[in-house]
Chain A
Amino acid sequence: MIESAIEALFIVLDPSRLVYMFIGICIGVVVGLLPGLSGTVGMSLMLPFVFGLEPYVGMALLIGMIAVIHTGDTFPSILLGIPGTSGSQATIMDGFPLAKRGEASRAMGAAFFCSMVGGVIGGIALYLTIPFARPLITSFSSPELFMLTMLGLSMAGLLAGKSPLKGIISGILGLLIGSVGSAPAVPEYRYTFDTLYLTQGVSLPVVAMAIFAFPIIITMLTNKGSVANHATLQSGILKGVMDALKNKFLVFRSAVIGVLIGFIPGLGGSVVDWIAYGAGQKTVKNNHFGKGDIRGVIAPESANNAKEGGSLVPTLLFGIPGSGTTAILLGGLTLMGLEAGPKMLTTDLSVTLSIVWTLVFANVFGALLCMILVRPISKISFVPGEKIVPFLLILLVIGAYQSTMSWGDLIIFVIIGLLGYVMTILDWPRPPLLIGFVLALPAERYYWISIERYGWEWITNPIVIFLAIIIVVLLSGGAIMKRFSKDYEQGGIN
């Protein structure tokens, strides 16, 4: 396979194809940069152009874009506290406080570097899992997938902050919002109030935008200040890179989490940043996550780029898209005369390998491009809030409307936005709501299938029991560990 990998490298490095990759990278960065536009929108914009393109060229374009979306989306998350796409919400938690302290450049330096490393790890993971993909993917049955969604949901507890009860209620609220629309297992509609719009449920980009961006906009208007309080912008890209290097194990761990979650089909890769963040919070000693800890930026940023490599495995080899973006990618493949499936490993292996290379290169170039852009773009954080709000509003409204082109999107945006605002005022954690929202459908789906298929005997499945133990340890052990590490601190390790 190494031979064909080298062959694919030359295919990718062909100047005529490189041009397309760079076009893809530029579009990806812009799409990521603009809040409200996600990979799905970017893909739908490009789809008409890939028709009839040579597969290598088309893939360079599409993968080039997918690879860097989660690099570009860091800008608004850190600078404005608004997620660039739903994949960079967790970056806000610490990136935004850092920006407020004038350390935006440092945060972005670390973020881009981690995105790059994470993305490259994702590409390598894609390459390495190719031979084992089939047995690996078919090893997950519905009961195990259900327990994995439960594992994801238990992260909501970890992210709850001070009050676990508020976290749980917030998560349940998310589950409730996620259950709007057609039920996964029975053709039945819930909470649709007889409108056709709600039958497809509330779309993730709208919820993610509303819950984070709406409150920020109100705060910007009421506070009348710019995001950064400090007058000078410290140039700290290198410092950020050094921060990332110092935490290389965290970067690696988070990237592996990203790959794994992306890899498991149907789990909804959009919570990967939260899970990496939660895991980081649990495992990093002496952290002050949530108050501007650079490691709170490093963990989610390493994971969200790595996810793409992982999620391409089920997409390319099984035709199972893990996200809206990869769903459209499948369509793009067909338009270029390719079909996802085992053939991607045999007759079309060179295309698959060219995808691996494109992932690696695009992540490197995308991160470099973003680092160049840090200086001009980070000045946004000095623009007074009331001047930036009109632009943001336009972007967000168009972004929300883009998701299904229906007026309902705007109404939902405002309703959920108000909910988000109330939650900020009352100091309720919002991440659990998003996790609940994203995992509502998969959790219900796999629970239903497990019961329908196996009755109750699935509970005795060893992997299910193993996952259950992990969940219990995570939930209870977390508190114990925290106490433990406190003792540690007091013991004078610092």
Chain B
Amino acid sequence: MKIRPIFVLMLILSCFLMGCNTLQATGGNQVSEGNSSYQGQTISFVVPFQAGGGTDVFARFMTPYFAKHIEGKPRVQVENIPGGASITGTNEYANSRLPNGLNILTSSASSHVPFMLEQSSVDYDLNNFTPLIGAPSGGVVYTKPELAEGGIENLMSLEEELFYAGISPTGLDLVTLLSFEVLKMDVKAVLGYEGRGPSRVAFEQGESNIDYQTTTAYKNSVEALVEEGRAVPLYSLGQIDANGDLIRDPQFPDLPTIEEIYVDIYGEKPSGEVWDAYKQTVGASYTLNKVIWVHKDAPSSYQELLKKGMDGLINDKEFATHSEEILEGYDTYVGEELNTQIKQSFAISEETKQWIIEYLRTNFDIDIKKL
């Protein structure tokens, strides 16, 4: 029998493949009430994105520290459930994962904003989750030096000359688009780019002339352009502090916020629905760019252990030094501070919500109820 070895080989390969499958099945059903230790347990960490993206990298970076600081040293297993711009995976976490304390989730801006606007595909309620740790991000808007020459006033007087290359008006682009709206700038948004990388290339080759990048990408790719005199930063998108005010981004202390620019130009503080909408989206998209959660219904002893683990984690010197790249140098939020931020970022007033929905409908022909 010459064929035998091939069968054996294929059998081995098949088994190998089975092994490749995720450990989805093993994480779940071992709920044992009363057992309040993570000793020998496996926590399944749901990441609603494809492996390799920003949020996935964030989650994978966190896992060893989770395993180290959560009492009982549980195994933490990342599980990617991509699709629907993070909504598929978050829905699955909310509805199909047991609230046994062995399932945690990471969310990101793309799960926060649709939740806030009550997009119809959203089948989760962030209020039903307990936040464990939150991480901010930031963004900087920049333009071509020749356009910035006459100062920001000059930029605002331009009509039909500013082009912005974006991905989609419901993603992170929304914040930038709203910032133009607050400053009453006439910017033509060309949407449909594949990502922030291609949109940066569009800026470099002149297809667009006003652009933004998030903190890391800005530092890696745009600062060099600024030094070469091919780009000029205008403002940072800012952060929301505990009082709900817009403050300068700690990573870019020299860049003004749009509030400062507005005061300079118009001599008064920005106000009204646009302004509220802007601050709301900055909070939900940047100040709380990523949040890790556990079901609110999970055994409270487990929730306590997880929270305590987070406290240990942020005091870990090793974590502080290694997290520089991944967390873009921002401080994380835990405990009460996190709760306050979450409350004010996600508690959107009915008027603001309607205003954003209406804004998307009139400017981009989007019906939020159909997404």
Q: Which of B28-68 contact A (CB under 8 A)?
A: 50-54, 56-57, 60-61, 64
Whether the Cβ atoms of B192 and A184 lie closer than 8 Å is yes
The answer, yes or no, to whether B91 is at the interface (CB within 8 Å) is: yes
Task: Tell me the count of chain B residues lying within 8 A, CB to CB, of chain A.
Answer: 72
Q: Which of A200, A334, A383 has the most CB of B within 10 A?
A: A334
A-B contact count (CB 8 A): 180
Query: Given A138-B201, A327-B50, A342-B221, are A186 and B191 also a contact pair (CB < 8 Å)?
Result: yes
Tell me which residues across on chain A come within 8 A of B7, comparing CB atoms: 391
Tell me which residues across on chain A come within 8 A of B216, comparing CB atoms: 339
Q: How far is the CB of B334 from chain A (nearest CB, A)?
A: 23
Tell me which residues across on chain B come within 8 A of A184, comparing CB atoms: 192, 194
Query: Given A197-B83, A342-B221, are A318 and B14 also a contact pair (CB < 8 Å)?
Result: no
Tell me which residues across on chain B come within 8 A of A200, comparing CB atoms: 82-84, 88
Query: Given A200-B83, A379-B3, A395-B17, are A342 and B205 also a contact pair (CB < 8 Å)?
Result: no
Whether the Cβ atoms of A398 and B21 lie closer than 8 Å is yes
B contact face: mostly helix, strand, loop, or mixed: helix
Whether the Cβ atoms of A142 and B221 lie closer than 8 Å is no
Interface string of A174-196 (1 = CB under 8 A from B): 00000000101111110000001
Whether the Cβ atoms of A391 and B190 lie closer than 8 Å is no
Tell me which residues across on chain A come within 8 A of B5, comparing CB atoms: 376
Interface string of B186-197 (1 = CB under 8 A from A): 001011111101
The answer, yes or no, to whether A337 is at the interface (CB within 8 Å) is: yes
Whether the Cβ atoms of B207 and A453 lie closer than 8 Å is yes
Whether the Cβ atoms of A335 and B17 lie closer than 8 Å is no
Q: Which of B79-122 contact A (CB under 8 A)?
A: 80-85, 87-88, 91, 121
Whether the Cβ atoms of A196 and B84 lie closer than 8 Å is yes
Tell me which residues across on chain A come within 8 A of B10, comparing CB atoms: 391
CA distance A331 to B52 in the complex (A): 4
The answer, yes or no, to whether A47 is at the interface (CB within 8 Å) is: yes
CA distance A330 to B54 in the complex (A): 9
- Which of A96-104, A113-121, A153-161, A444-452 is the interface stretch? A444-452
Whether the Cβ atoms of B371 and A320 lie closer than 8 Å is no
Tell me which residues across on chain B come within 8 A of A342, comparing CB atoms: 220-221, 224
CA distance A335 to B56 in the complex (A): 10
CA distance A30 to B165 in the complex (A): 41
Whether the Cβ atoms of B13 and A34 lie closer than 8 Å is yes
Whether the Cβ atoms of B53 and A327 lie closer than 8 Å is yes
The answer, yes or no, to whether A137 is at the interface (CB within 8 Å) is: yes
Whether the Cβ atoms of B207 and A404 lie closer than 8 Å is no
Task: Tell me the count of chain A residues lying within 8 A, CB to CB, of chain B.
Answer: 72
Query: Given A339-B220, A452-B190, are A327 and B52 also a contact pair (CB < 8 Å)?
Result: yes
The answer, yes or no, to whether B163 is at the interface (CB within 8 Å) is: yes
The answer, yes or no, to whether A246 is at the interface (CB within 8 Å) is: no
Tell me which residues across on chain A come within 8 A of B205, comparing CB atoms: 138-141
Interface string of B170-201 (1 = CB under 8 A from A): 10000000000000000010111111011011
Which residue on chain A has the smallest CB distance to residue B219? A339
CA distance A9 to B52 in the complex (A): 28
Tell me which residues across on chain A come within 8 A of B195, comparing CB atoms: 320
Whether the Cβ atoms of A141 and B207 lie closer than 8 Å is yes
Interface string of A155-174 (1 = CB under 8 A from B): 00000000000000000000
Tell me which residues across on chain A come within 8 A of B163, comparing CB atoms: 453
Q: How far is the CB of A161 from chain B (nearest CB, A)?
A: 33
The answer, yes or no, to whether B255 is at the interface (CB within 8 Å) is: no
Whether the Cβ atoms of A398 and B61 lie closer than 8 Å is no
Q: How far is the CB of A422 from chain B (nearest CB, A)?
A: 29
Interface string of A333-377 (1 = CB under 8 A from B): 011010111110000000000000000000000000000000011
Whether the Cβ atoms of A196 and B121 lie closer than 8 Å is yes
Interface string of B210-248 (1 = CB under 8 A from A): 000000110011001000000000000000000000000
Tell me which residues across on chain A come within 8 A of B159, comparing CB atoms: none
Tell me which residues across on chain A come within 8 A of B51, comparing CB atoms: 43-44, 47, 328, 331
The answer, yes or no, to whether B365 is at the interface (CB within 8 Å) is: yes
Whether the Cβ atoms of B190 and A449 lie closer than 8 Å is yes
Tell me which residues across on chain A come within 8 A of B85, comparing CB atoms: 182
Query: Given A43-B51, A184-B192, are A199 and B83 also a contact pair (CB < 8 Å)?
Result: yes
CA distance A142 to B198 in the complex (A): 10
* Contact among B6, B82, B87, B197 for A319, CB-based, below 8 A: B197
Query: Given A196-B121, A404-B82, are A453 and B325 also a contact pair (CB < 8 Å)?
Result: no
CA distance A404 to B191 in the complex (A): 26
Interface string of A119-145 (1 = CB under 8 A from B): 000000000000000100111111000
Interface string of A35-54 (1 = CB under 8 A from B): 00100010111011001100
CA distance A343 to B220 in the complex (A): 7
* Contact among A51, A142, A330, A331 for B207, CB-based, below 8 A: A142
CA distance A405 to B80 in the complex (A): 9
Tell me which residues across on chain A come within 8 A of B61, comparing CB atoms: 51, 335
* Contact among A51, A398, A404 for B60, CB-based, below 8 A: A51
Query: Given A445-B192, A449-B193, are A48 and B60 also a contact pair (CB < 8 Å)?
Result: yes
Which residue on chain B has the smallest CB distance to residue A453? B190
Tell me which residues across on chain B come within 8 A of A404, comparing CB atoms: 82-83
The answer, yes or no, to whether A263 is at the interface (CB within 8 Å) is: no
Whether the Cβ atoms of A185 and B17 lie closer than 8 Å is no
* Contact among A196, A329, A383 for B3, CB-based, below 8 A: A383
The answer, yes or no, to whether A269 is at the interface (CB within 8 Å) is: no
* Contact among A137, A186, A265 for B365, CB-based, below 8 A: A186
Which residue on chain B has the smallest CB distance to residue A317? B221
The answer, yes or no, to whether A13 is at the interface (CB within 8 Å) is: no
Whether the Cβ atoms of A318 and B365 lie closer than 8 Å is no
Whether the Cβ atoms of B190 and A137 lie closer than 8 Å is no
Whether the Cβ atoms of B207 and A41 lie closer than 8 Å is no
Whether the Cβ atoms of A265 and B207 lie closer than 8 Å is no
CA distance A186 to B370 in the complex (A): 13
CA distance A329 to B53 in the complex (A): 10
CA distance A387 to B3 in the complex (A): 11
The answer, yes or no, to whether B331 is at the interface (CB within 8 Å) is: no
The answer, yes or no, to whether A425 is at the interface (CB within 8 Å) is: no
Q: Which of A373-409 contact B (CB under 8 A)?
A: 376-377, 379-380, 382-383, 387, 391, 394-395, 398-399, 402, 404-406
A-B contact pairs, 18 of them (CB 8 A): A44-B51, A137-B201, A138-B201, A138-B205, A141-B202, A186-B191, A266-B194, A320-B195, A331-B54, A342-B221, A377-B6, A383-B3, A391-B7, A391-B14, A394-B17, A398-B20, A404-B83, A406-B83
Instruction: List residues of B whose CB falls within 8 A of some A CB.
Output: 2-3, 5-7, 9-11, 13-14, 16-18, 20-22, 24, 50-54, 56-57, 60-61, 64, 78, 80-85, 87-88, 91, 121, 163, 165, 168-170, 188, 190-195, 197-198, 200-202, 204-208, 216-217, 220-221, 224, 325-326, 364-366, 370-371
12 further A-B contacts with Cβ under 8 Å, apart from A37-B20, A51-B64, are: A30-B13, A34-B13, A141-B205, A184-B192, A186-B365, A196-B83, A331-B51, A334-B326, A339-B216, A343-B220, A379-B2, A449-B207
Closest 3 CB pairs between A and B? A331-B52, A185-B192, A328-B52
Instruction: List residues of A whose CB falls within 8 A of some B CB.
Output: 30, 34, 37, 41, 43-45, 47-48, 51-52, 134, 137-142, 182, 184-189, 196-197, 199-200, 265-266, 314, 318-321, 324, 327-332, 334-335, 337, 339-343, 376-377, 379-380, 382-383, 387, 391, 394-395, 398-399, 402, 404-406, 445, 448-449, 452-453
